[in-house]
Amino acid sequence: MTVDANSTIESAAGSDLNDTIRIVDLHKTFGNLEVLKGVSLTARKGDVVAVIGGSGSGKSTMLRCVNFLETPTAGEIHIGGEKVMMRADGSPADRRQIERLRQSLGMVFQSFNLWTHKTVMENLIEVPVHVLGVPKAEAVDRAKVLLARVGLSDKAEVYPAFMSGGQQQRAAIARALCMEPQAMLFDEPTSALDPELVGEVLNVIRGLAVEGRTMILVTHEMKFAREVASHVVYLYNGLVEEEGPPEQLFGAPKSERLRQFLRSVG
């Protein structure tokens, strides 16, 4: 449902505050190319939702729409029970609302996106101090705890260029956690890593799942998704082809397309 730019912020009818993230009938078009054709997905508190599918299925586009790194063409997005207010073209009706809701979502990208001219510690405290107004000493203390959490206590004063890809991605996860987000969004966090470094990043994400953190994870790591996810969504050609608990999707898929996909990825 679209609204006028002057509409007040409201929760959608029937919205459940336990739904940390809910997207309804999400569409996204790039020119003449319709990438998302009506995707719906819910991540409740503590859920780990793994999104799988082939290249071009719309996985990353969907995740970027949730965080408004891409502007949806149509549909609804709810964060923490609050509906994102959109104009008729899908663009945000209230930029301040977007900025506020973004602070509740920790985003981890494929390519780390650390500031290369800043140390790891400076990367972690930048947003808490300069955007959220957290006192620097408090931000530093929390960053130290999180660096220990991801196994990087000795890298606080190191620049990203002097770290492995796995270490950089773990630092990126710690940076996202510094925002104390309601949910974490992972966009194929291991796709840019050498095979021997994948495990160290997945172990950190596995630990976050054990802690009960809400996560949406776009991944091509099928074994990991099966072990860690509470819910799996298979996208095909911009639509949800099948979804359900991992034991169902991986053990007894109903869709022939999903069966073919799982065979293709081994």
HSE toward the beta carbon, residue 56, CA cutoff 13 A: 3
Whether residue 20 has pLDDT greater than 80: yes
Q: How far apart are CA 220 and CA 226, in angstroms?
A: 11
What is the sign, positive or negative, of the torsion defined by CA atoms of 136, 185, 11, 34?
Answer: positive
Under a CB-based contact definition with an 8 Å cutoff, are residues 257 and 264 in contact?
Answer: no
- Give the residue numbers spanning the domain of 159: 114-180
Q: Catalogue the E-assigned strands of the chain.
A: 19-30, 33-44, 48-52, 74-79, 82-83, 105-108, 183-187, 214-218, 231-236, 239-244
| Predicted pLDDT at 94 | 94
Q: Classify residue 173: in a domain, yes or no.
A: yes
Q: Classify residue 150: in a domain, yes or no.
A: yes
Residue 151, token pair as written in the block: 């196994």
Question: Number of folded domains in the chain?
Answer: 1
Q: How far apart are CA 118 and CA 125, in angstroms?
A: 10
Q: Classify residue 147: in a domain, yes or no.
A: yes
Which of 41-55, 81-95, 152-166 shows the lowest per-residue confidence on average (mean pLDDT)? 81-95
Q: Classify residue 71: in a domain, yes or no.
A: no
Q: Classify residue 176: in a domain, yes or no.
A: yes
* pTM given for the model: 0.90
Quick: pLDDT tens for 130-161. 999 999 999 999 999 999 999 999 999 999 99
Q: Classify residue 2: in a domain, yes or no.
A: no
Q: Classify residue 65: in a domain, yes or no.
A: no
